[in-house]
Amino acid sequence: MASGLQARLMQRNLNMNLSIPTDIEEVKQEIEDVKDIYSNTKLATSRTKDAVGDLASSRSLDQYQDKTAFRESLSQMDAEELDIIANPQNHSIEDRQYVADKFNETYTNIRGVDSAESNFYENLEPNSTDSNGIRKDKATAFTDGNPGKDDTYYDAKKTQKQGEFVHALGHEGKRQDQIEKGIKNNTPDGVSTVHDKAAYAAGKHTSKALEREMLYKGVKVNKEGRNSFARSPQDKAVLASGKSKTKDVQDAQTYTVYVHGTWSNKESTDPKLLDAIGNTFNEEVEQHGWSGRNSKEERDLVGKKLAEKVSSHKFKEGEKLNVVGHSHGGNVIKEFTQAYDGDKKIDNMVILGTPQRTDHTLDRSDLDSDANLINVFNSRDYVQSPMGTFGKKKGNGRTLDGAKNLHTNIKHTDLDTSNGWNSSVNPLFISD
C-alpha cells in the first residue's frame, strides 16, 4: 500500500502528464482536429487511388509522370480558380489567362521544361495559318511550334464553352512539353501522328482530373444519390473572404444504371461492384432490379420498364447517361434501347459477358455520336455461348458489331465483381 507521500507524488505526476481540457471550446477543437485527420486521410487515400490508376494505365514512366503533372497542376488551384477552369463562360479573359499561366507554370516545372505564356485572342483572320501552313483559325488553342517562342494562344470565344478550356489546357500543355523536348509535329490536321494523339489524350485526362479535383474540393450528393459540383461550406468561406465571388458551380452530373443478369437479383449483387462502377463514373450507381427469369419475354418487359424509368428522369444540361449490364442484363439494356424514346442519348454503354443473340438487338440511334460502346467477353465463356445463345446465336455469340470488343480471361461469374470491373473496364476510362 502506498504511503501518503507516495500517493501525493503519484497524483502530482498524473496531473502533469494528463492534459484534460476543461473548456468546452477546447473539447470542440480537439474533435475538429480528429475530424481533420480523418478527412485528410480519406483525401490522401483517394489521391493515392488516382495515382495507382494512372500508373496502371501508363505504358511508360514518362507517361505516368505526365499524368501526375496534370493532376498536380489542378491540385494547386483553389476553389475559385477551379471554377474559372470548369465554368469559363462565367469569367473574364483576364481570369482565364491567370489560371492558364498558373496551370502551365506548374505543369512545365514538374516536366522540367520552359513554361509557355498564355495569350487570348478574340478575332483571328479567316484561313489564318502558321509558317508550316497549319490552320489556326479552326483550333481552340495552339502552341508555337518552335522552342524559344514559348507562347500558347487560346481562342477567347471557344474557350468560353464548358469542357473546352480544360481540354485545351491539357492539350497545349502536352504540346509545349513535346516542343521543348525537340519533338517537331507540324501535321496539317493535328490528329495524324502519335504525338497528336498523345496531346489529345492529355486533354481528355486533364478534363477527368478536373472532375476529381472538384470532387475533393466540395462535391455534394443530391437526394437522388448522384453527385453535383455544389460548393462545400469551406469553399464558400474561401470565396467570401476573397476579392470577388463567383456563381455557383454548375451541375456536372451523371446518371448511371446497373442491370444484373439471369438468376440474380438486387440483393445478391456485389456492393463492391457498384462502388467500382461508381468510382469509374464518379457517382453512386442506381440498380435496376428484375426477377432474373431466363426468358426473352421477361427481358423485353424489364427493358421497357427501364425505358420508362430513364424517360422520367429530368436530365440537366451536360448530364451523362451511363448503362452497365452483366450477362443477360446486357440484353435487357438492348431492349431498353428498343423501347426508349427520350431525347437524352447514351454516353457510355458497357455490357459484360452478354450472350449476343438474334432476338435482342441494339437500337444504335439511342447512342450519342461520341458514345463509348464496350463489350467485354471471354472466348471460353460457355455461359455466354453456347448456353446463353442456344438456337439464337448471332455471329460468334460473343462479340458485338461496332463495339469496342474487349477480350478477357475473367470467368463469367467474376465479371460482375469489383475485381472483374477494375481489371477490365476501368482502365479504358482512366487511361484518357
Cell 455461348 locates to: 385
* pLDDT above 70 coverage of the chain, percent: 74
pLDDT at 294: 93
pLDDT at 322: 95
246-269 confidence digits (pLDDT tens): 333 333 467 899 999 999 998 899
Judge if 267 and 211 occupy the same domain: no
Q: Is residue 25 part of a domain?
A: no
Judge if 263 and 165 occupy the same domain: no
Judge if 133 and 66 occupy the same domain: yes
Q: Is residue 136 part of a domain?
A: yes
Q: Is residue 9 part of a domain?
A: no
pLDDT at 26: 62
- Would the pLDDT of 3 be above 70? no
Domain tally for the chain? Answer: 2
Q: With bands split at pLDDT 50, 70 and 90, how would you rate the model's confidence at 368?
A: very high
Grid cell for residue 236: 464558400
* pLDDT above 90 coverage of the chain, percent: 34
Chain centroid offset of residue 56 CA: 16
Average pLDDT, rounded, for the chain: 80
Q: Partners of 413 in the beta sheet?
A: none
Q: Which of 81-85, 239-243, 347-351 has the highest mean pLDDT?
A: 347-351
Q: Is residue 3 part of a domain?
A: no
- For β-strands 151-155 and 141-143, DSSP reports them as antiparallel
Q: Is residue 334 part of a domain?
A: yes
Of 198, 216, 234, the residue at which a domain comes to its end is: 216
Q: With bands split at pLDDT 50, 70 and 90, how would you rate the model's confidence at 431?
A: very low
Q: Residues 166-194: what's their mean pLDDT?
A: 79
Judge if 334 and 409 occupy the same domain: yes
Q: Is residue 249 part of a domain?
A: no
Of 195, 216, 237, the residue at which a domain comes to its end is: 216
Cβ neighbours of 87 (radius 10 Å): 19
pLDDT at 122: 81
pLDDT at 249: 35
Judge if 211 and 283 occupy the same domain: no
Look up the CATH number of the domain holding residue 299. 3.40.50.1820
Of 163, 191, 216, the residue at which a domain comes to its end is: 216
Q: With bands split at pLDDT 50, 70 and 90, how would you rate the model's confidence at 226?
A: very low
Q: Is residue 24 part of a domain?
A: no
pLDDT at 75: 86
Q: Where is pLDDT greater, at 248 or 34? A: 34
Question: Could you write out the DSSP letters of every residue in 54-105?
Answer: HHHH-SSHHHHHHHHHHHHHHHTS-HHHHHHHH-GGGS-HHHHHHHHHHHHH
Q: Is residue 312 part of a domain?
A: yes
Residue range of the domain that includes 365: 254-430
Residues 71 and 48: their CA atoms lie apart, in Å, by 12
Judge if 79 and 175 occupy the same domain: yes
297-317 confidence digits (pLDDT tens): 999 999 999 999 999 888 877
Judge if 191 and 269 occupy the same domain: no
Backbone angles phi, psi at 375, to 5 degrees: -120, 115
Residues 46 and 144: their CA atoms lie apart, in Å, by 36
Judge if 191 and 292 occupy the same domain: no
The secondary structure of residue 135, as a DSSP letter, is: B
**Lowest-confidence range among 195-204, 214-223, 361-370?**
214-223
Q: With bands split at pLDDT 50, 70 and 90, how would you rate the model's confidence at 238?
A: very low
Judge if 259 and 161 occupy the same domain: no
- Would the pLDDT of 223 be above 70? no
283-294 confidence digits (pLDDT tens): 789 999 999 999
Q: With bands split at pLDDT 50, 70 and 90, how would you rate the model's confidence at 56?
A: confident
Judge if 204 and 287 occupy the same domain: no
Judge if 123 and 269 occupy the same domain: no
Q: With bands split at pLDDT 50, 70 and 90, how would you rate the model's confidence at 190?
A: low
pLDDT at 346: 96
Judge if 191 and 287 occupy the same domain: no
